Structure 1
Amino acid sequence: MITSICVGSSFYGSWGTSMVGEECTMLPAKSQVHIGRGKPVRLQPMMKNINEGKGIFAPLVVVTRNIVGKKRFNQIRGKAIALHSQVITEFCKSIGADAKQRQGLIRLAKKNGEWLGFLA
């Protein structure tokens, strides 16, 4: 026997809404946990780039990864990211920016890389 259990907040639109009974079916499938016999089922967190496959350079990145191999590709990408962070650090030193501003620039570079598809 499989039973559906609702997981979520009790506030969905109005103060009188509850998560009991048939309103459970309105929830997305990811928020429902089915329990059968044996060990309880846990939802696994997804560690994935939300922009995967998007961005102007994503197809080039995917083809390159398939040609070079995933392990070697990740090594090259890690070296490129480290080199880019060093360039940002040297730039911040030359203009007199503090560590907080430097970290902000590194975060901006990561966000732009995701948007352009370099992290696909």
Structure 2
Amino acid sequence: MLVAKRNAVQARASAARSMAVSSRVALASWDDSRLTASSLVQSAPKLQQTANVPRRKPVTMMGNKATTGPFAPLVVVVRGAMGEKPFNQFRGKAIALHSQIIKDFCAIWGVDQKQVQGVIRLAKKNGEKLGFLA
């Protein structure tokens, strides 16, 4: 029984040492001399690079990525009927006209420019929720 207790104590001590070592590595600070940048770089996995593969720029998506809202199906059908480029031109003109109407309305009531921009942002969020920017 004494041997079993000793083995159990040694096992707990070994587990505690390994835990302490792993926590020191995980919590090491930038200026810790035991953990250098070169050791981190060496342990990082290497990415496989293929030769002669052209690099592409990431595509930036405009508009709403979600196609939800009550008007989203209508927007999708009209875009398909008009074509992508004419539809985007039409939508750009409609958004510009709506923004100008908001600006004129706010000018009549004497709203300052910062609040006008907030109202325009709110109109864009509402358009996304309704599906106009699908």
2:132 corresponds to: 118
Cα separation, 2, equivalents of 1:56 and 1:106: 21
| Amino acid in the other structure paired with 1:116 | L
Contact 2:69 2:129 in 1 (8 A): yes
How big is each residue's C-alpha offset from its partner over 1:59-116, in whole Å with a ceiling of 9 and x where there is no partner? Answer: 1100011112222212221121111111100111111111101011111111111121
Contact 1:35 1:41 in 2 (8 A): no
Highest Rg: 1 or 2?
2
Cα separation, 2, equivalents of 1:67 and 1:59: 12
> After the TM superposition, which of the residue ranges 73-82 and 94-103 deviates more from structure 2?
73-82
Contact 2:64 2:133 in 1 (8 A): no
List gaps (5 residues or longer) in structure 1. Answer: 1-14, 25-32
Q: Does 1:51 align with 2:65?
A: yes
* Larger RCO (alpha carbons 8 Å, 6+ apart): 2
1:93 corresponds to: 107
List gaps (5 residues or longer) in structure 2. Answer: 1-24, 28-39
| Amino acid in the other structure paired with 1:67 | A
1:16 corresponds to: 26
Q: SS of the residue aligned with 1:35?
A: coil
Aligned residues: 96
Larger fraction in strand:
1
Match of 2:52 among 38, 42, 50: 38
| Amino acid in the other structure paired with 1:99 | Q
Contact 1:51 1:114 in 2 (8 A): no
Match of 1:68 among 82, 86, 109: 82
Shift, 1:50, TM fit = 4.7
1:106 corresponds to: 120
Q: SS of the residue aligned with 1:90?
A: helix
Cα separation, 2, equivalents of 1:44 and 1:34: 20
1:29 corresponds to: none
- Report the aligned-residue RMSD: 2.8
